[in-house]
Amino acid sequence: MKRQAESYFGVLLPASARTIVCLALFFPAWSGAARPALAEDAPAAASSKDAHSNADRDRLPPPAITEQTVDLGGRVLKFKAGIGAMPIRDESSGELLAEVVTTAFILTARDDKPETSACRPVVFAFNGGPGAGSAWLDLGALGPWRLPLTGAAQAPSAPPVVSDNRESWLDFADLVFIDPPGAGFSRLAGNEAARKKLWSVEGDVELLASVVRRWLQQARKLDCPKFLVGESYGGFRAPKVARALQESENIGVDGLILLSPALDFGWMDGRNNPLADAARLPSLAASHRDAKDRSEVADAESYASGDYLADLLRGPRDAAAQERIAGKVAGLTGLAPERVRRLQGRIGAGDWVFEADPSGRAIASLYDGATMEANATPGRRPQEWSDPVLDGLRAPLATAMTALAIEKLKWPVEARYEILNDRVSESWNWGSRRRSLEAMTDLRRAQALDPRLKILVAQGLYDLVAPYYANKLLLDLAPPVGAPDRIGFLALPGGHMFYAVDSSRAALRDAARKMISNE
């Protein structure tokens, strides 16, 4: 499958997507809904029974709750794990539109001492895509168990064996992983109209905000600290979900943690925008140098936002500017000067995929520019290719999550786990043009409305899909709202899923602990 840089970022849906979510979790029974329609997951009304019976009959299994333990390097945590489906029904017709699966981990004891906090912080985490399952964050970084994601693990046949995750956030927060319809085990059950509602930018945001609020009501945790974690397109979703919670669901969140976020699509899709080239250049240099710290590419950042941008704006007709660019960019990236000249100094992510290895025997990953795999057509640019990181990890992650749900969490699901659902990403309704979408406005408005709201942005140095320097520039260009330390920024070794690197996962955990625990 040909992998495009734009394939896996999520989007939001239209305001017409008014739905009612009936929760079926492992917490005490929910007593009611803020909206009318359905207060419990009852069969459809008799008048519409024939139209809805098939969707209602083909349901996911009832929720499962298990008692679990995890060892964080000599410290044992006991917790309840719950996995189940939330039925999503149209509030006027009662039609089942979808089932949204949540996986929750709730701490009960530490080293055999009961957990005494009546109101632990709650982290709601979702991935992007659209169509990416939450296993990336669950088994990759935050959850109680972890699957290795680097080296030999990046192969479809790699054994999907999970182990206790010493960097799990369960140590300082309860965790709820959400899979929108079409991702993970969550599924669409309705007709074409339901698909258009739920696979769109605004409808997606509305749905996620509703799920978060209803989960909090169900668990009696409305007064507990609340945090949203979004990765990739999920990082685009999170500021919009925070605003929807504030303004539509009457819920405030304490913090947003955005991992490799798509804050402004124009800075990633900017084929005619030299700022996009300047923002990508430090990630190309970091990939070439295998940089272990942002300080190692300080020269690339300085050049990208200074002389490089100035010479790009002089245009290809300025021969002297083109020569300066060719020499400097070649030195930063390791690309041949003549190749830089042919590209007029503008090195796209796709160019790097095929040019990083001058022999043509290997291709690089869009999601981690420092990672390469053998080229199936040595010496030639293939018409189609599989990304070494994104596609290599599909099978191990999906298999591990399926085994975890069935064997450890005792949820007898038969559905396939969608780790990256191409049908969702290809069918997504972006509203107008995707290139015009951004989340910085939502981020600023959410911040302005709530002076307590904290934000952490964390990224990988080798990420060519959502370059770290692009988001750093966007954050620096935004007008200050409140204290300067309200927004934290980390650029760590690794690619789009930078938490696959042990040191980066630990650094992310430490930064999240500091924010969530208010240290």
Asked if residues 489 and 288 have their Cβ atoms less than 8 Å apart, the reply is: no
Q: How does pLDDT run along the chain (519 residues), one tens digit per residue?
A: 344 433 433 322 223 333 323 223 333 322 223 222 222 343 333 334 444 555 566 789 999 999 999 999 989 999 999 999 999 888 888 889 999 999 999 999 998 888 877 799 999 999 999 999 999 999 999 999 999 999 888 889 989 999 999 999 999 999 999 999 999 999 998 778 888 889 999 999 999 999 999 999 999 999 999 999 999 999 999 999 999 999 999 999 999 999 999 999 887 766 778 999 999 999 999 999 999 999 999 999 999 999 999 999 999 999 999 999 999 999 999 999 999 999 999 999 999 999 999 888 999 999 999 999 988 888 777 777 889 999 999 999 999 999 999 999 999 999 999 999 999 999 999 887 777 789 999 999 998 899 899 999 999 999 999 999 999 999 998 888 777 778 999 999 999 999 999 999 999 999 999 999 987
pLDDT for 21: 31
**Taking the model in full, what pTM does it have?**
0.89
Residue whose C-alpha is closest to residue 203's, from 426, 21, 458: 21
Classify 220 in phi/psi space as left (phi over 0), alpha (psi -120 to 50) or beta: left
Q: Give the bridge partners for 66, in sequence order.
A: 81
Please tell me the distance from the alpha carbon of residue 91 to that of residue 456, in angstroms, as a whole number: 36
- DSSP code at position 372: E
At residue 177, φ and ψ (nearest 5 deg) are: -100, 130
Please tell me the distance from the alpha carbon of residue 73 to that of residue 292, in angstroms, as a whole number: 25
- Our CA dihedral for 378, 383, 384, 387, rounded to 10 degrees, sits at 60
Q: Would you call 101 helix, strand, or coil by DSSP?
A: strand
The pairs formed by 483-487 with CB atoms below 8 angstroms and a separation of 24 or more are 486/447, 486/453, 486/454, 486/455, 487/454, 487/455, 487/456, 487/457
Helix (H) / strand (E) containing 463: none
- In the chain the domains, ranked by start, together with CATH numbers, are 19-266+396-516 (3.40.50.1820)
- Our CA dihedral for 422, 428, 434, 438, rounded to 10 degrees, sits at -100
Please tell me the distance from the alpha carbon of residue 519 to that of residue 367, in angstroms, as a whole number: 32
Please tell me the distance from the alpha carbon of residue 78 to that of residue 81, in angstroms, as a whole number: 10
pLDDT for 43: 38
Please tell me the distance from the alpha carbon of residue 154 to that of residue 150, in angstroms, as a whole number: 6
Distinct helix (H) and strand (E) counts, the chain: 16, 16
Give residue for tokens 């693990």: 153
pLDDT for 55: 58
Helix (H) / strand (E) containing 337: helix 337-342
pLDDT for 50: 47
Is-cis flag, bond preceding 130, omega within 30?
yes
In the chain, what is the greatest distance between 2 CA atoms, to the nearest angstrom? 77
CA-based angle 316:318:322, to the nearest 5?
A: 65
Q: Give the bridge partners for 458, in sequence order.
A: 259, 490
